[in-house]
Structure 1
Amino acid sequence: MKERLQKVLARAGIGSRRAAEGYIAAGRVMVDGCRVSQMGLQVDPECQRITFDGRPLSFPEEKITVLLNKPAGYVTTMHDPQGRPLVGSLVKEPGLRLFPVGRLDLETEGALLLTNDGDLANRILHPRYEIKRTYQATVKGVPAAAALQALRQGIELEGRRTWPAQIRTLRRREGECTLEVIIHEGRKRQVRKMFAAIGHPVLRLKRVAYGGLRLGDLASGAHRRLTAADIRRLFQGSPPQGQQE
């Protein structure tokens, strides 16, 4: 049975469908010995030979997702030309190839999902579901109430307005302030850019929850497999499938 190439790659645990499109565009995928760059190509993995970076696809029988408490100083990728520490080195799941769902920048800590389930990764990343990400941001100084209200309502960042954010102050210390920030967008370095825009750069950033799934007391650098109940918590409060496009 034929299906789109990027969906086949996701099902094989190569990455989300969005990531798979990038791999196709980069010429890393071949079908029957021919390099492919066409998006949406229909293929039959049972009848055709499909390779990624020269290796035939395999389809894992066991699909798992883990929650990692990412430490600062690790890059959210499975390969880094600069040789920096990789998040994959922290997750020991023998025989399973896991990839990160979304990203945390080098110095950001906290909740990061890794999986070999491309369909689940696609659901988590799709804007339709509006999965909330909860952060604790320690910023320089104490933002004025008006500045925080502006972030709550949305501000212009790089030519696009941010969606409204939920923000509350957790604690204040001399010269800094820690706030809880809840957003559902996945724009690159968004929380850091939001606070830089109001003149209060982020000193430390940690993601503490994905939807209704919280990091809890998971130690830095440790991970755990998610249960079916955990997966349901990810989508708590999200619009039902098909309600939004």
Structure 2
Amino acid sequence: MGPQRIAKLLARAGIASRRDVERMIAEGRIALDGEVLTTPATLLETLQGVTVDGKPVRPAGAARLFRFYKPQATLTAARDPKGRPTIYDKLPPGLPRLMPVGRLDFMTEGLLLMTNDGELKRLLELPRTGVVRHYRARAFGEVSQAQLEALAEGVTIEGIRYGSIDANLERRTGRNCWIEMSLAEGKNREVRRVLAYLGLQVSRLIRTAYGPFDLTGLDMNDVAEVPRGQLDQFRGSLK
């Protein structure tokens, strides 16, 4: 394999994303054989002698992926200065150190993939891999199927370009409707912003699937590991 950048090795070991590792190096939190590192360009063969906040880093284990049903009113973050509950308050004990793949808004519920492997996290999040996210939204207001189908062309809202979205009106009850949406980009608050642009007020938003992984068999706050064979098959299918 040859020497690799320390940020990549630490991400692979599940310490943090590459970007976060670079920030930790800038903060002087990472050392090699007792010497504080000053650059993320440091090349290493292994993580032997590397410490984070004074603690030795364990070498990367095999990549693992978990499905978690995130509840509403939960932050996708390790901690919150405002004291709001985070996903780590909801996860059961006994799991390995896990990082979320992408994010879900505070009030959005549903499938959040979690992994111990920073490289797998990055692969799943990269726009070029084109992993499709599926959502169901309950919204208040009037919208036509034709308006939803027009989203397939993409839309620009307040200077931000959102790519093609496959959207269908699932059912309507009075002025409330359920809308199914599939998209491969997942920009910040994308679903809520696009529906607000159409004059709809979202009252519930659920991510039902991320790629081939969905909520099957999960109740709120449940976690289930993706079988190794299924994970390997999925990785092999990525662009």
- Give me the TM-score of the superposition, normalised by structure 2: 0.87
Structure 2 unaligned residues grouped into runs of 5+: none
Please tell me the residue identity of whatever aligns with 2:207: R
Structure 1 residues 88, 53: CA separation in 2 closer, same or farther (over 3 Å shift)?
same
Assess if the C-alpha contact under 8 Å between 1:70 and 1:220 holds in 2. Answer: yes
Secondary structure of the corresponding residue to residue 113 of structure 2: strand
For structure 1, the 5+ residue unaligned runs are none
Q: Equivalent residue for 2:88?
A: 88
Identity %: 34
| 1:99 alignment partner in structure 2 | 99
* 1:132-143 correspondence to structure 2 within 5 Å: 132-143=132-143
Residue in structure 2 matched with residue 226 of structure 1 by the alignment: 226
Contact in 2 for aligned 1:213/1:233 (Cα 8 Å):
no
CA-CA distance at 1:55 after TM superposition: 2.7
- 2:214 is aligned to 214
Secondary structure of 1:138's partner?
Answer: strand
1:232-243 counterparts in 2 under 5 A? 240-241=238-239
Q: Could you say which residue in structure 1 is the equivalent of 2:198?
A: 198
CA 1:234–1:198: 2 relative to 1, 3 Å = farther
| Closer, same or farther: CA 234–187 of 1 in aligned 2, 3 Å | farther
In structure 2, the CA distance between the partners of 1:138 and 1:160, relative to structure 1 (3 Å rule), is: same
1:152 Cα shift? 2.2
Match in the other structure for 1:153: 153
Aligned to 2:111, what secondary structure does the other structure show? strand
* Offset, 1:150: 3.3
1:33 maps to: 35
CA distance in 1, matches of 2:27, 2:113: 25
Please, what is the CA RMSD of the aligned residues? 2.5
Q: In structure 2, do the counterparts of structure 1 residues 64 and 171 end up closer, same or farther at CA, with 3 Å as the change threshold?
A: same
Kindly provide the CA deviation profile for residues 195-215 of structure 1, in whole angstroms up to 9, marking residues without a partner as x.
112221211100000112221
In structure 1, distance between residues paired with 2:29 and 2:192: 33
Query: With structure 1 as the length reference, what TM-score do the two structures score?
Result: 0.85
Alpha-carbon spacing, 1:111–1:44, altered in 2? closer, same or farther (3 Å): same
Cα distance change on mapping 1:116 and 1:200 into 2, 3 Å? same
129 and 217 in structure 1: CA distance in 2 versus 1, 3 angstrom threshold: same
Q: Describe the shift of the 1:194–1:39 C-alpha distance in structure 2 as closer, same or farther (beyond 3 A).
A: farther
Note the alpha carbon deviations across 1:9-57, whole angstroms, 9 max, x for none: 1122113334434444555434443253x3433234455x333334332
Q: In 2, Cα distance between the equivalents of 1:198 and 1:62?
A: 44
Match of 1:117 in 2: 117
Pair 1:23–1:137, CA change in 2 (3 A)? farther
Distance, in Å, in 1 between the alignment partners of 2:22 and 2:158 is 24
